[in-house]
Amino acid sequence: MESSRELRVSKIREGTVIDHIDAGRALHVLRILGLTGAEGLTIAVVMNVPSQKLGKKDIVKVEGVELREEQVSKIALIAPSATINIIRDYAVVEKVKVRVPPAVEGLLKCVNPNCVTNMPREPVRSRFKVVSVRPLKLVCEYCGAELNQDDVIKQLTGGGGSA
C-alpha cells in the first residue's frame, strides 16, 4: 500500500530487481554486475529509501538481465539481506533471498601476500570461513588472515584494493 507521497519507480517488464540492498551499496551492486550504463540497458537505481527491515535500503532494477550464480554469491557478501526478483511480463516469477554461505571459495583473495593461496607457482584456491555476517568478517582457512567488509567491497568492485 503505497501512499501518493512515496517515491514511485516504474515497474520493469523483463529482468531483475535486486531489492533490500543495504543503504548506500547500490553502486557496488552495479559494479559487481559489470554495468556502467553504457550498455544501453534500462537501469533504475534507488538509494536510501525507507525499509521496514533495514531502516533504509537501496534497490537496483535492470531490464533484460538475469544474474549468474557467481554474481548472486558476490551480492550476498555486500548486501546480505538482498532479494533477487526475476521479472517476466511485469510479474515476479521468482524471488530468492541471497544467502551468505558458511565458507567462501575462490571468490576472494587473501590479504596476506605470503599465504599459500597467493603463491604464484602452485596456487591453492582461496577459502575463507565466514565468522560474522554483520559486520562481515571472513578468516582465511590457510593462514588465519581476516577480511572485513571494506576489504570485500574493494575486491569485488575493483575499488583500488588488492584484488
Distance spanning both ends of the chain, measured CA to CA = 43
Among 21, 26, 33, 59, binds ligand CTP (CB under 6 A): 59
Among 16, 71, 73, 85, binds ligand CTP (CB under 6 A): 85
The DSSP bridge pattern shows strands 127-132 and 103-105 to be antiparallel
Least distance to ligand CTP, CB of residue 83, Å: 5
Report if residue 143 touches Zn ion, rule: CB under 5 A.
Answer: yes
* Piece of 9-17, 28-36, 115-123, 143-151 that binds ligand CTP (CB under 6 A): 9-17
- Report residue 109 as a C-alpha cell: 583473495
Using CB distances below 5 to 8 A depending on partner kind, what does residue 12 bind out of ligand CTP, Zn ion, none?
ligand CTP
Scored b (16 or more CB within 10 A) or e, 107-118 reads bbbbbeeebebb
Among 23, 142, 154, 161, binds Zn ion (CB under 5 A): 142
Using CB distances below 5 to 8 A depending on partner kind, what does residue 143 bind out of Zn ion, ligand CTP, none?
Zn ion
Least distance to ligand CTP, CB of residue 20, Å: 6
- Kind and range of the H or E run holding 131: strand 127-132
- Report residue 44 as a C-alpha cell: 533504475
Dihedral sign of CA atoms 93, 98, 99, 103 in order: positive
Among 90, 93, 102, 135, binds ligand CTP (CB under 6 A): 90
In this complex, which beta carbon is closest to Zn ion, that of residue 30 or of residue 136? 136
Report if residue 54 touches Zn ion, rule: CB under 5 A.
Answer: no
Report CA Rg, the chain. Answer: 17
